[in-house]
Amino acid sequence: MIKDTITHFHFCCGLGAGAKGFNMANPRVGNVEARFECLGGIDVEPAAIRDFKTLTGTDGTVMDLFTRDQYTRFHGVEPPKEWKEATPADVRAAAQNRTPNVVFISSPCKGASGLLSQKKAVTPKYQALNELTLRCVWLMVEAWKDDPVDLIVFENVPRLASRGRHLLDQINQVLSHAGYAVAETTHDCGEIGGLAQSRKRFLLVARHVEKVPPFLYQPATKGLQSVGSVLERMPLPGDEAAGPMHRVRPLQWKTWVRLAFVEAGKDWRSLERLVVENGHLRDFLIMPERRNGFIGVNDWEQSMGVIAGKSYATNGAFSVADPRSPRSLGGYGAYGIIPWNESMGVVTSQSAVGGGRFAVADPRPNLKRKKGDNFYGGGHYGVLPWDSFSGAVSAAACHDNGRWSVADPRLPEASDNVVAYIKALDGCWHRPFTTLELAALQSLIEPEEYLLLDGLNDREWRERIGNAVPPAASRAIAEVMGTTILLARQGETFLLDNAPIWVKPMAAALSVGGVQ
């Protein structure tokens, strides 16, 4: 085999997931095989750049890509004195002063996201954020105007095609003027990456007409996995060997109760099947806020929806019906939902109160222990007041052989954050995904791998993970782009292959020199 190298560089690179996927690609044409080499990436967040080095092995660059006007509109204040606008020369330096073969741009998508209201989307703050799309393309074109990049990948949320239409039109004009043919389409990261989530994205691809032949193969569609097929390969949540990213997040007690009653594969609306009196089901408030996906529970056997930057149990379908019992909760305890007057399950060797449904509402008063013909047990099941003292602590002190219990007034309120195992009617623990599980679902790691991102903050980890381009999807894109570049280097204009041409609409757009 003849070895070749294809280089890539990333704007708004985040923690480097997209770059990691490119590094994994190994396109091959005939007896020529290529490896991808990362030249670096740019992002404004220092923590993300530290993660970029961890995931790619290449140094990234902390750089603000805003213009001064955009910075002021987004932050509401003038930039500090030491701040300066990024220049094309700064971009070249960030890429080791080399020309990449492929540039990947994944600009911030909050301003065009459907998670943001239209009212906020049109504010100066988010319009400035949307303008980074055009800003990145302009900096890229200017940085390598004397030696153009072969292929450009621009990835964002699908709604950019409508909310950011005026910006996309300008981007097309800039690229066309620089000698690029451009195509816009959408793709599902989950399907081309074989993920356990459906993640639909907007994709703009551009090829430099003089450098790249007029076609691009389409990544194969692999279909979606179930969340259980990924999670079952991971340690149980709370396993210390998996690290702090695999802990179950504390939730409000009322949220745990609601999750337990949500049917797997559905969301809060399945609670409406329950009989509610005065807004309560027995002792628990169960009527949630009325919005789609609220405290949604994913079925173990199905794929999930897109992982967002704020993937919490109470703002979307970010919980799973886990059929496995946890080994250690490190929190409030274990409970089970069981209909009234129903028989219980099997008695195990660890039938403790906190380990399952191993308690009973016993109506018989005056419990006593009998030894021969005599009753004994003064203090049997004794409960001490909170403000009283106890007797001498004996070696056999236990709740059922003396006054070794206390009336603890510190009951959890409905709003207290706890970790609770409630076995739902389907026999599963309905719990939120751990941060590490979200990383695995994004294909940032293999389920068996360990990961620890920069800092010790779940919220920041989840935001970086949710903003990431799944490496499995970017690898699939890199494979077909690498094949195209290898063909160009060999002077080929066509390759007999079973893979379909990306015809609708990409291949048609890439086959001509104009703008579609």
Distance of alpha carbon 302 from alpha carbon 431, whole angstroms: 16
Q: How many CA atoms lie within 13 A of 373 on its CB side?
A: 0
| 196 and 312 both lie in a single domain | no
Structural domain boundaries, residue 150: 2-225+468-510
The tens digit of pLDDT for each residue in 12-56 reads 999 999 999 999 999 998 899 999 999 999 999 999 999 999 999
Distance of alpha carbon 16 from alpha carbon 106, whole angstroms: 11
> What angle (nearest 5°) sits at the alpha carbon of residue 434, between those of residues 269 and 203?
80
Report the DSSP beta bridge partners of residue 103.
9, 152
| Residue 242 belongs to a domain | no
For residue 505, say if its preceding peptide bond is cis, omega within 30 degrees of 0: yes
Residue 507: pLDDT above 50? no
DSSP state at residue 4: E
> What angle (nearest 5°) sits at the alpha carbon of residue 319, between those of residues 316 and 323?
155
| 215 and 330 both lie in a single domain | no
Distance of alpha carbon 237 from alpha carbon 141, whole angstroms: 46
pLDDT of 516: 33
Query: Could you tell me the two tokens for 336?
Result: 């089970």
> What angle (nearest 5°) sits at the alpha carbon of residue 508, between those of residues 506 and 105?
30
Q: State whether residue 74 is helix, strand or coil.
A: helix
| Residue 386 belongs to a domain | no
What is the count of structural domains for the chain? 2
Burial zone of 380 (CB within 10 Å; 0-12 exposed, 13-18 middle, 19+ buried): middle
Report the DSSP beta bridge partners of residue 4.
34
| Residue 490 belongs to a domain | yes
| 219 and 260 both lie in a single domain | no
The tens digit of pLDDT for each residue in 208-242 reads 988 887 677 778 888 889 988 888 899 988 888 89
From the list 24, 146, 12, 128, the residue with the least C-alpha distance to 444 is 24
Q: What are phi and psi of 187, to 5 degrees?
A: -145, 165
Tokens 């109160």 correspond to: 353
pLDDT of 186: 85
The tens digit of pLDDT for each residue in 94-108 reads 999 999 999 999 988
Tell me, what amino acid is at 170? Q
Residue 123, domain CATH: 3.40.50.150
Q: Where are the alpha helices (DSSP H) in 29-159?
A: 46-56, 68-75, 88-94, 118-121, 124-130, 132-143
| 220 and 253 both lie in a single domain | no
| 112 and 194 both lie in a single domain | yes
Distance of alpha carbon 22 from alpha carbon 477, whole angstroms: 8
Q: What is the mean pLDDT of residues 362-387?
A: 55
| Residue 350 belongs to a domain | yes
The tens digit of pLDDT for each residue in 251-290 reads 887 788 778 888 888 877 877 787 777 766 653 443 333 4
| 210 and 337 both lie in a single domain | no
C-alpha 455: how far from chain center:
17
pLDDT of 508: 40
| Residue 448 belongs to a domain | no
| 421 and 501 both lie in a single domain | no
Tell me, what amino acid is at 18? G
The tens digit of pLDDT for each residue in 466-484 reads 899 999 999 999 999 999 8
| 252 and 218 both lie in a single domain | no
- Looking at 417, 433, 449, the residue that finishes a domain is 433
User: 361: pLDDT confidence band, cut at 50, 70 and 90?
Assistant: very low
Q: What is the mean pLDDT of residues 191-217?
A: 86
**How many other C-beta atoms lie within 10 A of the C-beta of residue 167?**
21
| 168 and 279 both lie in a single domain | no
| 176 and 50 both lie in a single domain | yes
